[in-house]
Amino acid sequence: MADFKYLDFETLGRIKSMQMLAKTVVEGFILGLHRSPYRGFSVEFAEYRQYVPGDDVKHVDWKVFAKSDRYYIKQFEEETNLACNILVDCSPSMNYKGSQSGWTKLEYACRLAACLSYFMIGQRDATGLLVFDHEIRQMLPARGSPAHRQLLLSTLDQVEPGTGDTDIATPMHHLAESLSRRGMVILISDLLDDPLKVMGALQHFRFLGNEVIVFHVLDRDEIEFPFDTLTEFTDSESAEKVLVAPQSVRKLYMQKFDEFFGAYRRGCGDLNVDYKLMNTSMGMELALSEYLYRRGKLY
């Protein structure tokens, strides 16, 4: 398999060991973001298994019987009830990286998207990708083939920070209007936009019957405001600069951050949207392990 910038195999290996947390399947939803595929006799060939009494003989592969003198049944993957779409925010604010973080928020988001899509398509779950800032930059429909996984990962490799003002809600509404069936929607974003607008877009997905997961990606600097010396801050969208004495604004900043964080946490709770804050200074395998463990206990 080709090498991909945002596919961290060390991380993948660690997360894969937690499959025990996510074995339960309900109507095709991925609990813990892992699902054992349904077996059936439709759509896409999966594997052979030996014939047992009671199997429908029309599914016996007679060519294999002629060569081996043994009866084998062709198994196929059933069409899943649901498809998954991963939404990655590439707006300018996602290009921030603090001193304690190894990646920008966008790099972290792309790695997270790569890990999730790798597992989902590996389990033959149709997975799509939408990359957006104030408009849709890249869009891949949900499919489940190995070739599609290659395309999806290649697309993530090419993601660059966007331009202009942040508008999370509009691209989300466009996607919601294009979906032909219910499924799972995963939003990966710093959510630096009006919470009411974003909640409206999330509600649009929920109204259509989709399960929604939000990974709120923030840098440690944004969460803790650790600055202690005179610091120049630059607006990622307008490029406006301001020189600030952190001690004089820390209390107000933390108050505003708590309001901002709380608006999303409460809003997602009200909509029955699964919400997880992701701190880019925390190793991804630890962050996802924590999330999957909590999700497994809830479901």
Residue 2 lies in a domain: no
pLDDT of residue 282: 84
Residues 66 and 166 in one domain: no
176 close to 147: Cβ distance less than 8 angstroms? no
118 pLDDT above the threshold of 60: yes
For the entire predicted model, the pTM comes to: 0.77
Using alpha carbons, select from 96, 97, 170, 186 the residue that is nearest to residue 133: 170
Q: Is 225 left (phi over 0), alpha (psi -120 to 50) or beta?
A: left
Residues 16 and 111 in one domain: yes
Alpha helices in the chain (DSSP H): 9-16, 62-68, 105-122, 146-157, 169-178, 195-207, 220-224, 246-270, 284-298
Residues 6+ apart with CB under 8 A from 25: 31, 35, 36, 38
Residue 152 lies in a domain: yes
Question: Could you write out the DSSP letters of every residue in 224-239?
Answer: H----S-EEEE-TTT-
Per cent of the chain over pLDDT 70 is: 76
29 pLDDT above the threshold of 80: no
Residue 265 lies in a domain: yes
Q: How much is the mean pLDDT over the chain?
A: 80
Residue 86 lies in a domain: yes
Residues 164 and 142 in one domain: yes
Residue 202 lies in a domain: yes
Token pair, residue 85, equals 């779409």
Token pair, residue 105, equals 């928020």
Q: What pLDDT digit, counting tens, does each position of 35-47 carry? A: 433 333 344 554 5
Residues 248 and 268 in one domain: yes
CA distances from 110 to 52, 179, 239 (A): 45, 23, 24
242 pLDDT above the threshold of 80: yes
Q: What pLDDT digit, counting tens, does each position of 195-216 carry? A: 999 999 999 999 999 999 999 9
Per cent of the chain over pLDDT 90 is: 43
Residues 67 and 84 in one domain: no
Sort 70 into a burial class: Cβ within 10 Å, 0-12 / 13-18 / 19+: exposed
185 pLDDT above the threshold of 70: yes
Lowest mean pLDDT among 95-104, 236-245, 262-271: 236-245
pLDDT of residue 39: 39
Q: What pLDDT digit, counting tens, does each position of 128-159 carry? A: 999 999 999 999 999 888 889 889 989 998 99
Please give the residue range of the domain that contains residue 152: 9-31+80-298
What's at 222, amino acid-wise?
E
Residues 69 and 148 in one domain: no
Residues 204 and 277 in one domain: yes
Residues 268 and 137 in one domain: yes
CATH number, domain with residue 193: 3.40.50.410
Lowest mean pLDDT among 61-70, 196-205, 228-237: 61-70
Most confident among 16-30, 50-64, 116-130 (mean pLDDT): 116-130
Residues 192 and 242 in one domain: yes
97 pLDDT above the threshold of 70: yes
Residue 1 lies in a domain: no
Residues 6+ apart with CB under 8 A from 178: none
Residues 84 and 70 in one domain: no
Sort 260 into a burial class: Cβ within 10 Å, 0-12 / 13-18 / 19+: middle
pLDDT of residue 125: 81
d(CA 177, CA 83): 15
Residues 21 and 47 in one domain: no
Residue 3 lies in a domain: no
Lowest mean pLDDT among 53-57, 239-243, 282-286: 53-57
Percent helix, strand and coil across the chain, each to the nearest 5 = 40, 25, 35
Residue 4 lies in a domain: no
Residues 84 and 183 in one domain: yes
Number of folded domains in the chain?
2
**Banded model confidence at residue 2, pLDDT cuts 50, 70, 90:** low
Most confident among 49-58, 124-133, 180-189, 192-201 (mean pLDDT): 192-201
